Amino acid sequence: AQSVTQLDSHVSVSEGTPVLLRCNYSSSYSPSLFWYVQHPNKGLQLLLKYTSAATLVKGINGFEAEFKKSETSFHLTKPSAHMSDAAEYFCVVSGNYKLSFGAGTTVTVRA
């Protein structure tokens, strides 16, 4: 069995400040992990994926995530938020031919 928990349903940041979106997972298998972003009325776009080659994963638009096996976490960060980062973000764990989506974190960016 596997599951993913996004610890914050909503995050609000000021433009130019760091963004942290928290994700914890559980899996009986060696998981693959992904972060997706969804802008209003759009599909989900892949931000980055964990391949097990490196624990720090860099993605598009300046995002990165760090895999910590001991903490079963895969938190997403960005050093400086931009207005265009306002969207919903999903953490996803994949294992045993099943995908589990987190409930999502809505990011608001204040000018």
Partner 1 sequence: SQTIHQWPATLVQPVGSPLSLECTVEGTSNPNLYWYRQAAGRGLQLLFYSVGIGQISSEVPQNLSASRPQDRQFILSSKKLLLSDSGFYLCAWSVLPTGGFNSPLHFGNGTRLTVT
Among 90, 91, 105, 107, binds partner 1 (CB under 8 A): 90
Contact 26, 55 (CB under 8 A): no
Tokens at residue 10, please? 């909503």
Tokens at residue 13, please? 């940041």
Spatial separation of the C-alpha atoms in residues 55 and 100, rounded to whole Å:
20
Q: Nearest Cα to 77, choosing from 93, 62, 87, 94?
A: 62
97 makes contact with partner 1 (CB under 8 A) = yes
99 makes contact with partner 1 (CB under 8 A) = yes
We find the least distance from the C-beta atom of residue 101 to partner 1, in angstroms, to be 5
57 makes contact with partner 1 (CB under 8 A) = no
28 makes contact with partner 1 (CB under 8 A) = no
42 makes contact with partner 1 (CB under 8 A) = yes
27 makes contact with partner 1 (CB under 8 A) = no
Among 28, 43, 83, 84, binds partner 1 (CB under 8 A): 43
CA 79 to chain centre: 14
Q: Which uninterrupted H or E stretch holds 101?
A: strand 98-101
Site residues (CB under 8 A) for partner 1?
A: 32, 34, 36, 41-46, 49, 51, 90, 94-99, 101-104
